[in-house]
Amino acid sequence: MKKYAILFCLLFIAQSLISQVNLSENKAATKTKNEAIVTSKINLRQPPQAITILWDNSLSMNNRLLYKELQFLDAYFKKNRNVKVKFQTFGTDLGAVQKHKVTEGNWEALKHTLLEVVYDGATSKEVLKKLRIGGHTLLFTDGNRFNENIDRKWKGAVFTINSKRDANHALLKSIAEDSDASYINLEKTLDMSVAITYTNQHVTDKKNIVKRNKQLLYKKK
- In the chain, the number of structural domains is 2
In a domain, 169, yes or no: yes
Looking at the predicted structure, is the pLDDT value of residue 135 above 50?
yes
State the residue range of the domain holding 185: 50-205
Whether residues 62 and 18 share a domain: the answer is no
In a domain, 216, yes or no: no
* Cα–Cα distance measured from residue 150 to residue 174, given in angstroms and rounded to the nearest whole number: 11
- CB-based contact 138:52 (threshold 8 Å): yes
In a domain, 120, yes or no: yes
Whether residues 114 and 143 share a domain: the answer is yes
From residue 109, give the alpha-carbon distance in Å to each of 113, 140, 215, 219: 6, 18, 48, 53
In a domain, 217, yes or no: no
Whether residues 114 and 199 share a domain: the answer is yes
Whether residues 132 and 96 share a domain: the answer is yes
Looking at the predicted structure, is the pLDDT value of residue 161 above 70?
yes
Whether residues 17 and 80 share a domain: the answer is no
Q: Write the DSSP symbol of residue 90.
A: E
**Predicted local distance difference test score (pLDDT) of residue 41:** 53
Whether residues 170 and 61 share a domain: the answer is yes
Looking at the predicted structure, is the pLDDT value of residue 106 above 80?
yes
Whether residues 78 and 27 share a domain: the answer is no
In a domain, 220, yes or no: no
Looking at the predicted structure, is the pLDDT value of residue 185 above 50?
yes
Q: Which band of pLDDT confidence, cut at 50, 70 and 90, is reported for residue 87?
A: very high
Whether residues 158 and 68 share a domain: the answer is yes
- Mean predicted confidence (pLDDT) in 190-201: 90
Query: Can you say how many angstroms the Cα of residue 108 is from the centroid of all Cα atoms in its chain?
Result: 25
Whether residues 66 and 147 share a domain: the answer is yes
In a domain, 219, yes or no: no
Whether residues 111 and 30 share a domain: the answer is no
Q: Write the DSSP symbol of residue 185.
A: E
Q: Report the CATH number that the domain containing residue 194 is assigned in CATH.
A: 3.40.50.410
In a domain, 211, yes or no: no
**Predicted local distance difference test score (pLDDT) of residue 121:** 87
In a domain, 213, yes or no: no
